[in-house]
Amino acid sequence: MIKIGAVFGENIKTEKLSKRTHSYGKNYAIRSFLLPSILFLAIGILIIRLFFLQISFGAYYRHLSDNNRIKTVVIHAPRGIIFDRNGSPLVFNVPGFREVPDGTSSTNEKTKLLTQEQALTFLAQGRKDLEIDSLRSYPYKDAFAHVLGYIGQISKDELQSNEFSNYRGGDLIGKIGIEKSYESKLKGIDGKQLVEVDSLGNAIRTLGQTDPIPGENITLTLNLNLQKAVSDAMKDVKKGAAIVSMPNGEILALVSKPSFDPNLFTFGKDYKIASESGIYSSISQILTDSENQPLINRTISEVYPPGSTFKLITAAAGLEDKIIDENFEITDTGIVWLGNFSFSNWYFTQYGKTDGQVNVVKGLQRSNDIFFYKLAEKVGVDKLSEMAMKFGLGQKLGIDISPEEAGTVPTPLWKEKVIGEGWYLGDTYHYGIGQGYLLTTPLQVNYWTQIIANGGTGYRPHLLVNPKSEILNPKFLSEKTISLIKQGMIESCSAGGVAWPFFELKVPAFAKASAGKESEKLKVACKTGTAQHGTGDTWPHAWITLFAPADNPQIIVTVLSESSGEGSNVAAPIAKKILEEWFSR
C-alpha cells in the first residue's frame, strides 16, 4: 500500500507493472523506406512514359505538332468552261467561299458554301476557317437549265460511292444535264498550299504550293442563238418540250418547260430573280411544285402518246413489208365500227366531212385516221412493233445526258403481262394512229423524223462535239418508201394539208441565199399530231415534227405542248418561229 495524501484515499492498491516493448523505431524505419520507393516508382513511370512519347510514338506526335504549326490550304481548281458550237461560253466561273469548321476539308462533311454576304461578314471578323472556291454562273438562266444542268454540293451518299472517291466534303459536282454527264472532264484537280501559322492561326510564311489544274473545256453542238430563240418561242407553253437537231444527230437546241434559273442552286439566298421574269424565285418553289415538276427534262425523261406523228412509222411498216404500195386506197367513211365501238376520223368528228379516196400520201397529207386504222389492221401488231423498234422506240437512244426514258412499244405479250388482258383489234386501231399503250419521248419522235430526213439511216443524238457521228440504225428503208413518206409530209405542210402555218412560209434571207428570189417559199416536210390522253375533258397533247428544207434537210424540229390542243394550231406556230430564226440568218 502506498500512502498518497489527503486528496486521494488513504491508500491505493498497487500492482507490479509489466515491462512493454515500444514500436516507434520500427515504424520510422518503414516510413523511411516507403517514401524513396514511391519516388523511384514515379521516376520510373515518367521514364517509361517519355520513352513511349519520344521513341515509340515520336513520329506520331511530331506529325501532330507539325499539323498544329502547318496548315494545309486547299486551292480549288476552276471547272472547265462549256462552249456552244461557235465558241460562245455558256457558263462562267465566279469567286465564292466555303466554311471549313475544323480547318481542313479533306474529310470534313460539315463544309458548307457561303453566300457573298456571309463571306464578307466572316472576313470582316477575321475568320480563319474560310476557303476560296469557284462557283458557276449561268448567264442564260432558264433557257439552258435542263441541257446544261447545274452544280451543287456533294452529298454524303455520293461521297461514299466509288465514282467520287477522290472528292472531299463540300466539293461541288454536276447534278443534272451536261454538268453531270461530263463531271470527270469539267472537274479539275485541286492544288494545295502549306502555310506555317502561329498559335493564333495567323499565317507566318508559305512553305510550299501545288498549283491546281483547271477542268477541261468542252464544246457542245448547241447553237446559242437558236437555243434562246427556241426558249422564247416556247415562252407561252406551260409544260412541253422542243428539240432541234441536224441530220447527223447533233443537237442544236433542247428546251423543256417549265424551266428554272440554275443560278439559284449555286448562289443561294442572296441571289435575286427579277419579279417580271415569270419563273421560280426560290429553290423551295422549284422543289415543291409537284404539279409541274420543273426539274424534269421533258425532252428525254417524260413519255407521251405520240399521236399522228406515229403514222410515219405505220406507213413505213406497210410499204416496207409490201402490204401496200402507192396505188393502195381506202374509202374514208368517217367512222369505222367494231361491234358497239366506233373509231372516227378527226375531219368527220369536227366538220362532218370525209376525204374520199385516200392513198398513203393523202393519208399523211390529211392525217386521215380511217386510212391508218385499216393499214394497221393489215400490217398487224407484231410487224408494227417490229418496225417501231427499228425506228428507235422502246429503247434508250443513248444521248449524253440523263435520265433518258425508253418508252413503251406494246405487243400482245406485253399487254397480257402488264394489263392482264388479251389484244383486241381496237388496240391495233389505236396503235396505228399513235394512241393506246404506245409511249415515246420527244427525243424519239425527233429521231424517227431524222431517219426519214436521212433516207433511212439514224444517227445517235448527241450534245458533245464529235468528229464523227455514230450510226445507230444503218439504212433500213427503201428509196421508194422514203419518197412516198416524204411526199406525204411535204403535202401536209402545203395547201390542202393540215399544217396550215407552213402553207406560205417565206424567209427572205433564206430565199436570197438559196435561190436569189425574195418570194421563194421554204419547202417543209412535216407531220402534226394531236394525242388524246387522260379523261374526256383533258385537252390533247399538241405535236409537230418536221425537217427543212424538204429536199436538202438542214434541221429537224420537234415540238410538244402538253394538254393544250391540236398540233396544227399550237405546236406548228412554235415550230414556224424556230424555222424563221434558223433560216433568217
User: Do 204 and 312 fall within a single domain?
Assistant: no
What length is written for the chain? 585
pLDDT at res. 443: 98
User: Do 327 and 188 fall within a single domain?
Assistant: no
Top-confidence range, 101-105, 289-293, 533-537: 289-293
User: Do 74 and 187 fall within a single domain?
Assistant: yes
Q: Which domain holds residue 418?
A: 307-583
User: Do 313 and 177 fall within a single domain?
Assistant: no
pLDDT at res. 73: 75
> What is the arithmetic mean of pLDDT over 327-350?
95
The helix or strand, by DSSP H or E, that contains position 112, with its residue range, turns out to be strand 112-114
pLDDT at 165 over 90: no
Question: Looking at the domain assignment, is residue 438 inside a domain?
Answer: yes
Quote the number of domains for the chain. 2
507: confidence class by pLDDT, cuts 50, 70, 90 = confident
CB 437 within 8 A of CB 416: no
Question: Looking at the domain assignment, is residue 170 inside a domain?
Answer: yes
pLDDT at res. 108: 47
Q: For residues 133 and 244, give the distance between their C-alpha atoms in angstroms, rounded to a whole number.
A: 36
- What are the angstrom distances between the C-alpha of 114 and each of 103, 135, 151? 15, 11, 15
CB 446 within 8 A of CB 558: yes
Question: Looking at the domain assignment, is residue 35 inside a domain?
Answer: no
Lowest mean pLDDT among 29-38, 158-167, 177-186, 444-453: 29-38
Question: Looking at the domain assignment, is residue 278 inside a domain?
Answer: no
Between residues 388 and 274, the one the model is more confident about:
388
Task: Decide the pairing of beta strands 218-219 and 82-83.
Answer: parallel
pLDDT at res. 56: 67
Question: Looking at the domain assignment, is residue 102 inside a domain?
Answer: yes
User: Do 341 and 213 fall within a single domain?
Assistant: no
Q: For residues 6 and 369, give the distance between their C-alpha atoms in angstroms, rounded to a whole number.
A: 150
> What is the arithmetic mean of pLDDT over 496-513?
81
CB 271 within 8 A of CB 114: no
User: Do 213 and 314 fall within a single domain?
Assistant: no
User: Do 444 and 577 fall within a single domain?
Assistant: yes
User: Do 384 and 493 fall within a single domain?
Assistant: yes
Question: Looking at the domain assignment, is residue 480 inside a domain?
Answer: yes
Last residue of a domain, one of 165, 194, 219: 219
pLDDT at res. 463: 98
Percent of the residues in the chain that have a pLDDT greater than 70, as a whole number = 84
CATH number, domain with residue 90: 3.90.1310.10
Residue 323, classed as helix, strand or coil, is coil
User: Do 183 and 312 fall within a single domain?
Assistant: no
Residue 257, classed as helix, strand or coil, is strand
Q: What is the mean pLDDT of the chain?
A: 87
User: Do 573 and 459 fall within a single domain?
Assistant: yes
Last residue of a domain, one of 167, 200, 219: 219
pLDDT at res. 233: 97
Question: Looking at the domain assignment, is residue 138 inside a domain?
Answer: yes
pLDDT at res. 66: 56
> What is the arithmetic mean of pLDDT over 109-126?
67
pLDDT at 62 over 90: no
pLDDT at res. 205: 79
Question: Looking at the domain assignment, is residue 537 inside a domain?
Answer: yes
**Cis omega before residue 258 (within 30°)?**
yes
pLDDT at res. 124: 74
CB 491 within 8 A of CB 507: no
> What is the arithmetic mean of pLDDT over 66-81?
78
Percent of the residues in the chain that have a pLDDT greater than 90, as a whole number = 63
pLDDT at res. 50: 73
CATH number, domain with residue 433: 3.40.710.10
pLDDT at res. 350: 94
Q: For residues 437 and 429, give the distance between their C-alpha atoms in angstroms, rounded to a whole number.
A: 11
> What is the arithmetic mean of pLDDT over 212-228?
96
Query: In the Cβ-directed half-sphere of 392, how many Cα atoms lie within 13 Å?
Result: 29
pLDDT at 120 over 90: no
pLDDT tens-digit profile of 76-94?
889 999 999 999 999 999 8
CB 566 within 8 A of CB 576: no
pLDDT at res. 517: 57
Last residue of a domain, one of 194, 219, 244: 219
User: Do 448 and 568 fall within a single domain?
Assistant: yes
User: Do 201 and 311 fall within a single domain?
Assistant: no
CB 377 within 8 A of CB 343: no
